[in-house]
Each structure stands twice: as structure tokens, then as C-alpha cells.
């Protein structure tokens, strides 16, 4: 046996535990180890081919379907079942009832395959206890990996909840489940229940799988039977409501009224403006039937509402006195894209606001466009703690039909992509001319109105998650967290748990009175460690731990989700300190994101520098000629070179597109353009600084 004295471990002696329930009741770890996840350990073997042996380390309540496991290991010749006790003692050096991870160290010939529950890997600490034993040892998962490394085993990490669908005949798992008797359904449902699962992928190594797990396991998103459509669960919809509460009063203060236009539009109206519709046509969803009746003409669902709203603007606007006309609506829109859908970021139905204004002069329209852009930037900064770069879109990237498009652009760490946060368009008189939106000015002259349109969508929630969240799950900026503070009372069997719970309620009430969104997790069926993981996964900004010793000292242990910092706080200071701490967390999150973004915003003056920076997951500012053709060529060239590099590297990470494009022409470039600088790509005279990146 090796010497493990260097392990960060804690061993607890406890009463004999005959069941998992008793084990959970009898065995309590303290301090850092309070969040220990309890494991069960199974030694299995193939019924016929007995040399096929497995040591399975799973979370105590993970349901293990032996049939599905048999299928998974293609042990077709015989089902898996409990291995022979004598063999086990010989190889692992443990007796029945004492199976545990440490035994794998005795398997020097690597006869036993080690199988790790993905939920174990996602835990912070794991407690190994042999069933019916009276002691349990808790170690960190990091130390668990060290032990396995020492043992020379290459473990298979397995998501037991996915075994069922893996085992099912192809396609069946995707079908609507047939109605089952409760008895039959139980197992399947428990497996489907992801709410106790942690994150198995890391943000750095497999960004897209990490993202998918973060949003589903935190209970922000539920996948839905229609591809590209997702359910916004309360945790994420709360963020959307926070965004509405932030933006809506600002719009109104700026003279904008809310309204609602129908979501249907006739083919004739939709197609009126050819350039505008060209971009949307392939994505338009068409209603052609009601009940069993074919409609006389197909009717489109809005992909955006210019063609729905502007005919009314033409009716309503006659005189300069009718201007400005400033309307906004909070709606759903549908763009039936065929690209790979990504929840929040690219979905077939999404929620947004779309503002549409008409003004008497181009200057007034300019002012509107920029005030709105400021609101958008403020919303990212003040609410979502995400830094943005304000700028103008290039000719290639602007909204079709706009005079110019302004944008707020974000940087996504780990995958190095840029992402468009929201846009505000100055439409000039282009749409007014198409839709006959004109007025009589003060001199009695007919003038076409100057229009703007601007939108902010649920995509922002996805961008926020990508920026802040980590390998433990969601990290929510406090201002959009439905629960800002969770209180976890730490009660042991021999403690006076009533005293602790009473104190926890006291803390709860004082924080609630201070306007903090606080939740007291007094569930009796989960241990503190489980609760820590539960709330960390869901991104709750502050955890307050309240144990016997804390109470004796009149203190509470505060743990920050964003950086893991821990501190003891005086109970009487909480009502004043926590609101400050929430603001501090917000600011720290913003500053950290800004620092990361700035570290990954490089400057390049040559193509080689540019590609090098790009491939190192940066966004890049360059001197640029501002010619549309140059951008097109740079796009193509970057794509080709990226493909080559990918082929050479055999890179496995999925890439949505390898090409770079301008994210924007920043209003405030990192360094100003110097006279005589050349375009980094075509070598012609540079006219402006452009920000480039691979983009969502």
C-alpha cells in the first residue's frame, strides 16, 4: 500500500449503517468536508466470462441498471452480476461489505476495469464507506484522480442516467413515451432526472458539451420535442424578466410606448421589400392550414416586424406633429434556421423586444440609435456583468436596408469567439420610401421619415452564461439571480438542530427584510454537501453555512460562488453586509470578465500576426481599409487557413465556422489609427480600426 498521509482527508467513525439512509444520517463530515458526496462501490463480473471484472464507484443514490450496463459493456455472453467474493479478496484485497476505491491499488495486474459514475467526477469530495461499516473517509475528487493514477488504471467515466436511452433500440428514446403505469415508469424517470447531476465536461476542453450541461443541469433550459425550440424554466425566465425590468423603463423614459402587432403577415406584405426579405426568406415559417382547411394563402410568422408595422406607420404619420413615433413590443419571433441550434444563442423561436421609431430628421434618428445602444451596453454591464465593445457594423455585416448598424459585441472566453450582443439600426429613409412613411414638415413640404429599429433578445442570457459560468456549473451575476443567497443549516444528529434552524430562519428573515432574494434550504433529506453542490450548480451567488460552532461564535460562514472565497461574518452585520457583498460580487465578476476580455483582445498589423492571434482564441483589432470586398476575401482566407490548421492538428473541438469576420468598427479602438498605416489584409491605406473574430 502507498502512503496517503498527504491526502486532504477526513475519516469519521459512526454507528453501524445498514442502509444508505442510515449512513446519511449517521455520517456527517465537518467544515470543508461537509459537502462530501457518498459513494457506493460494486464489484461486478460477467456471469459466464468471469475474467471480465468491474469495480464500479457510483454516487450512493445513482440507480444502476445491470441490464443496461451489460449492454453497454457488450457482455452479451452473460449478464453482469456481483463478482465472486474469493476472487475479489484475492485481487482487491477487500472482503465483502468493504469494497472501496482503495482496493484498486492492489490490482497491480490491471485485471479489473474501473468504472466511475460521472456524478462522482463532478463532485467536490467523495466519501467511501463499505456498506454496513462504521467508518467513512472523505477525500477530494482531485485526490481520487491521484489514487487512480497511482493504481495505473484508466477509468471509464459513465453517465448512468444515459445508459437507458443508449440501451434502447435506435430512435426509441426520441419518441414520445407511451403511457406507462407508475410502477413501470419510476426507474426510467429517476434516470431522466438530471437535477442531481454535476457538470462532466470542462469549459476549456469541451465548450459546447459543457454549455449544454450547464444550462440543462442548472435547470435553466429543458430540451423540447421540436428541434431548435427550448423551454425557458423559471431560473432563466427570471433573467429575462430582469432584463425587461431594466430596459423597459429606460425605453419609456425616452418616449417609447409599448404596443402589440400581430405575429402573422401575408406573403404579399412580407415580400414587398425584396432586399429585406431576401435575408429572411429561407427561415420563414409558413402557416398553410387551420384545422383541416387549407388557407386561401399561406401566412408567415414574423421573423421581425418591419413589414408588419410600417404600413401602419404610413397611416398614422401625416404631419411633423405626429413625429417622433416611437413604438416597442416584447414578443416571440420565429426564424426557422437550419444551422446547428444552440439554446439561447440560435433558436427557432426566441423572445426579444423590437423597437421601431420614425423621426423628422436624420440627426434625431442618430440620437435615438445611440441612446438605445447605450441602454443595451448598460444592461450588459449593470445587469449581466458582461463587458461589451460598442461599435458600428461594417457594410458586409450591417442590417440589410439600414443606413448603418450599431452593435455591442462580447467576447466568449474558453472558445475565443465573438458574439453579437444586440444591435440598433439607423434605417435612414430606406424603409420609409418602401412603405410610404412620409410627413409634411413645418414648411409644408413632404418628407420621408427617418427610421430606426433595434432589438435585444434572449440570446443575451446565453452569452452571459458563456462568459461567467465555470466547471462547477452556472455562475449568476447577483442582480439577475432569482436566489441571491442560500442558507444551509449544518445540523448533526447530536446537535440541537432546532436551535440551528431557528437561527437560520432569523438570518433568513433579516436578509429578506433587507431586500435580498434569499432561500433557506432546510430540506431534511439532503446532507449539506449535496446542498452545496446543488446550489453551486445553479449559480447562487452567496452560500451562508450555519453550523453549531458558527452559532456559538455569533457568526455565519459565507462562501462566494464566483471565486470560492470564504469568510466568517457576524450575524448582526449580515443585513447590511450582504447587499454590499452582492454588489461587490457583481463588480468583481464584471472586472474579471473585462480583464479576460482585454487579455484576449489583441492587435495585429499583418495577416500572420492576425491569424496567430485568432488561433490563440483571441479577438483582434487591426488597421483596415474598410472595403467590403477586402472583408469577404479575408473571411474566405481565414476559413481556408483555419481548415488546414485543424486538419494538421486533428483538433476535435467542434467549430461552428472557421472564418473570421469583422465584429465591429469600435467607437473606441484600443489604439488609434496612425496616419500611413496599411490594411493588415490587402495592404491598401487603412481607414479605420476594425475588430475581428470568429463569431457565433
- Report 254-313 residues binding a second copy (CB under 8 A): 257-266, 268-269, 272, 281-292, 298-299, 301, 311-312
Task: Compute the least distance from the CB of residue 239 to a second copy, in Å.
Answer: 11
Site for a second copy in 123-142 (CB under 8 A): none
CA distance 398 to 629: 14
- Which CB atom, from 327 or from 511, has the smaller least distance to a second copy? 327
Which of 502, 164, 212 is CA-nearest to residue 341? 212
User: Is position 327 an interface residue for a second copy (rule: CB under 8 A)?
Assistant: yes
- Which CB atom, from 54 or from 313, has the smaller least distance to a second copy? 313
R_g (Cα) of the chain, nearest Å: 30
Cell 406584405 locates to 269
Task: Compute the least distance from the CB of residue 125 to a second copy, in Å.
Answer: 25
User: Is position 520 an interface residue for a second copy (rule: CB under 8 A)?
Assistant: no
Task: Compute the least distance from the CB of residue 184 to a second copy, in Å.
Answer: 10
What string marks each residue from 440 to 459 as x (binds a second copy by CB under 8 A) or -? ------x-x-----------
User: Is position 95 an interface residue for a second copy (rule: CB under 8 A)?
Assistant: no
Q: For residue 541, how many other CB atoms are within 10 A of its CB?
A: 26
Residue ranges in 19-169 assigned as alpha helix (H):
20-26, 66-72, 85-92, 118-121, 141-151, 160-167
- Which CB atom, from 264 or from 667, has the smaller least distance to a second copy? 264
CA atoms within 13 Å, Cβ hemisphere of 12:
25
- Which CB atom, from 8 or from 281, has the smaller least distance to a second copy? 281
Which of 666, 654, 664 is CA-nearest to residue 205? 654
Cell of 544: 451562508
Site for a second copy in 461-500 (CB under 8 A): 482
- Cα-to-chain-centroid distance, residue 194: 16
Q: What is the DSSP string of 608-660?
A: HHHHHHHHTT-EEEEEE---HHHHHHHHHHHHHHHHHHHHHHT--S--S---E
Which whole-number Å values give the CA distances from 249 to 245, 246, 252, 295, in the listed order?
7, 7, 5, 40
What string marks each residue from 339 to 358 as x (binds a second copy by CB under 8 A) or -? ---------xx-x-------
CA atoms within 13 Å, Cβ hemisphere of 210:
23
- Which CB atom, from 312 or from 510, has the smaller least distance to a second copy? 312
Task: Compute the least distance from the CB of residue 312 to a second copy, in Å.
Answer: 6
Burial class (CB in 10 A: 0-12, 13-18, 19+), 102: buried
Task: Compute the least distance from the CB of residue 280 to a second copy, in Å.
Answer: 9
Task: Compute the least distance from the CB of residue 450 to a second copy, in Å.
Answer: 15
- Which CB atom, from 285 or from 655, has the smaller least distance to a second copy? 285
Task: Compute the least distance from the CB of residue 554 to a second copy, in Å.
Answer: 32
- Which CB atom, from 346 or from 678, has the smaller least distance to a second copy? 346
Task: Compute the least distance from the CB of residue 683 to a second copy, in Å.
Answer: 40
Preceding omega of 466 cis (within 30 degrees of 0)? no
Task: Compute the least distance from the CB of residue 292 to a second copy, in Å.
Answer: 8
Site for a second copy in 189-218 (CB under 8 A): 189-190, 192-193
Q: Element (H or E) spanning 245, and its range?
A: helix 234-253
Site for a second copy in 151-190 (CB under 8 A): 176-177, 179-180, 182-183, 185-186, 189-190
Q: Using DSSP bridges, classify how beta strands 619-624 and 601-603 pair: parallel, antiparallel or unpaired.
A: parallel
- Which CB atom, from 449 or from 559, has the smaller least distance to a second copy? 449
User: Cα–Cα–Cα angle for 336, 339, 340, nearest 5°?
Assistant: 110
Residue from 523, 549, 553, 580 that binds a second copy (CB under 8 A)? 523
Cell of 556: 455565519
SS3 state of residue 69? helix
Site for a second copy in 216-235 (CB under 8 A): 222, 224-226, 229-234
Site for a second copy in 398-437 (CB under 8 A): 434, 436
DSSP lists the bridge partners of residue 163 as none
- Which CB atom, from 1 or from 176, has the smaller least distance to a second copy? 176
Q: For residue 442, how many other CB atoms are within 10 A of its CB?
A: 9
Which whole-number Å values give the CA distances from 626 to 58, 210, 608, 679, in the listed order?
58, 37, 19, 9
- Which CB atom, from 351 or from 476, has the smaller least distance to a second copy? 351
- Which CB atom, from 60 or from 597, has the smaller least distance to a second copy? 60
Site for a second copy in 560-599 (CB under 8 A): none
- Which CB atom, from 6 or from 445, has the smaller least distance to a second copy? 445
Site for a second copy in 69-88 (CB under 8 A): none
Task: Compute the least distance from the CB of residue 249 to a second copy, in Å.
Answer: 12
Residue from 22, 134, 143, 438 that binds a second copy (CB under 8 A)? 438
With CB under 8 A, what is the number of residues at the site for a second copy? 76
CA distance 574 to 557: 11
Burial class (CB in 10 A: 0-12, 13-18, 19+), 687: middle
Task: Compute the least distance from the CB of residue 137 to a second copy, in Å.
Answer: 30
Amino acid at each position: 500500500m502507498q502512503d496517503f498521509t498527504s491526502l486532504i482527508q477526513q475519516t469519521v467513525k459512526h454507528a453501524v449503517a445498514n442502509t444508505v439512509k442510515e449512513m446519511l444520517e449517521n455520517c456527517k463530515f465537518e467544515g470543508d468536508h461537509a459537502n462530501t458526496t457518498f459513494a457506493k462501490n460494486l464489484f461486478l463480473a460477467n456471469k459466464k466470462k468471469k475474467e471480465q471484472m468491474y469495480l464500479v464507484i457510483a454516487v450512493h443514490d445513482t440507480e444502476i441498471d445491470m441490464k443496461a450496463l451489460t449492454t453497454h459493456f457488450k457482455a452479451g455472453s452473460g449478464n453482469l452480476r456481483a463478482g465472486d467474493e474469493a476472487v475479489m479478496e484475492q485481487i482487491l484485497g477487500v472482503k465483502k461489505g468493504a469494497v472501496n476505491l482503495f482496493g484498486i491499488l492492489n490490482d497491480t495486474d490491471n485485471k479489473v476495469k474501473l468504472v466511475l459514475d460521472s456524478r462522482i467526477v463532478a463532485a467536490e469530495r467523495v466519501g467511501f464507506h463499505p456498506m454496513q461499516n462504521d467508518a467513512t473517509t472523505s477525500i477530494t475528487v482531485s485526490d481520487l484522480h491521484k489514487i487512480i493514477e497511482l493504481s495505473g488504471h484508466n477509468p471509464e467515466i459513465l453517465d448512468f442516467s444515459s445508459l437507458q436511452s443508449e440501451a434502447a433500440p435506435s430512435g426509441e428514446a426520441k419518441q414520445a413515451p407511451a403511457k406507462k403505469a407508475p410502477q413501470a415508469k419510476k426507474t426510467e424517470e429517476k434516470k431522466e432526472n438530471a437535477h442531481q447531476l454535476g457538470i462532466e465536461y470542462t469549459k476549456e476542453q469541451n465548450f459546447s458539451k459543457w454549455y449544454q450541461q450547464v444550462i440543462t443541469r442548472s435547470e435553466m433550459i429543458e430540451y423540447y420535442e421540436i428541434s431548435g425550440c427550448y423551454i425557458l424554466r423559471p431560473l432563466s425566465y427570471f433573467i429575462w424578466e430582469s432584463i425587461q425590468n431594466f430596459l423597459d423603463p429606460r425605453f419609456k423614459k425616452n418616449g417609447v410606448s409599448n404596443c402589440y402587432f400581430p405575429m402573422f403577415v401575408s406573403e404579399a406584405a412580407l415580400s414587398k421589400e425584396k432586399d429585406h426579405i431576401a435575408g429572411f426568406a429561407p427561415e420563414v415559417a409558413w402557416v398553410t392550414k387551420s384545422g383541416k382547411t387549407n388557407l386561401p394563402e399561406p401566412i408567415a410568422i414574423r421573423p421581425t416586424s418591419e413589414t408588419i408595422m410600417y404600413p401602419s406607420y404610413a397611416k398614422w404619420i401625416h404631419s411633423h406633429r405626429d413625429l417622433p413615433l416611437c413604438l416597442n413590443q416584447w414578443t416571440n419571433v420565429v426564424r426557422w434556421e437550419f444551422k446547428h441550434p444552440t439554446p439561447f444563442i440560435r433558436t427557432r423561436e426566441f423572445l426579444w423586444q423590437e423597437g421601431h421609431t420614425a423621426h423628422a430628421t436624420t440627426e434625431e434618428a442618430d440620437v435615438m440609435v445611440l441612446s438605445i445602444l447605450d441602454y443595451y451596453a448598460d444592461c450588459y454591464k449593470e445587469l449581466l456583468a458582461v463587458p461589451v465593445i460598442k461599435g458600428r457594423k461594417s457594410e458586409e455585416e450591417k442590417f440589410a436596408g439600414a443606413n448603418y448598424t450599431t452593435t455591442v459585441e462580447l467576447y466568449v472566453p474558453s472558445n475565443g469567439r465573438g458574439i453579437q450582443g444586440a444591435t440598433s439600426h439607423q434605417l435612414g429613409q430606406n424603409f420609409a420610401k418602401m412603405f410610404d412613411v412620409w410627413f409634411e414638415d413645418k414648411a409644408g413640404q413632404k418628407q420621408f421619415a427617418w427610421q430606426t429599429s433595434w432589438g435585444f433578445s434572449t440570446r443575451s442570457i446565453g452569452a452571459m452564461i458563456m462568459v461567467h459560468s465555470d466547471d462547477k456549473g452556472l455562475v449568476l451575476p447577483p442582480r439577475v439571480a432569482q436566489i441571491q443567497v442560500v442558507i444551509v443549516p449544518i445540523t448533526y444528529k447530536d446537535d440541537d438542530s432546532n436551535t440551528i434552524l431557528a437561527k437560520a430562519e432569523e438570518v433568513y428573515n433579516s436578509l429578506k427584510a433587507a431586500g435580498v432574494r434569499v432561500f433557506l434550504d432546510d430540506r431534511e433529506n439532503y446532507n449539506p454537501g449535496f446542498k452545496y453542490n446543488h446550489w453551486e450548480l445553479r449559480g447562487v451567488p452567496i452560500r451562508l453555512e450555519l453550523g453549531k460552532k458558527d452559532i456559538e461564535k455569533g457568526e455565519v460562514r459565507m462562501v462566494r460562488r464566483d471565486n470560492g472565497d470564504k469568510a466568517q461574518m457576524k450575524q448582526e452585520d449580515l443585513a447590511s453586509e450582504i447587499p454590499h457583498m452582492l454588489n461587490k460580487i457583481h463588480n468583481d465578476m464584471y472586472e474579471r470578465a473585462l480583464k479576460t476580455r482585454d487579455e484576449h483582445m489583441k492587435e495585429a498589423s499583418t495577416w500572420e500576426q492576425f491569424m496567430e492571434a485568432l488561433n490563440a482564441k483571441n479577438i483582434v483589432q487591426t488597421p483596415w481599409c474598410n472595403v467590403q470586398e477586402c472583408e469577404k476575401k479575408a473571411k474566405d482566407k481565414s476559413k481556408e487557413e483555419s481548415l488546414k490548421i485543424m486538419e494538421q492538428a486533428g483538433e476535435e473541438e467542434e467549430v461552428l465556422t472557421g472564418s473570421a469576420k469583422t465584429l465591429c468598427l469600435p467607437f473606441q479602438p484600443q489604439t488609434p489609427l496612425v496616419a500611413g498605416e496599411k490594411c493588415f489584409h490587402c495592404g491598401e491605406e487603412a481607414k479605420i480600426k476594425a475588430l475581428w473574430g470568429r463569431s457565433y
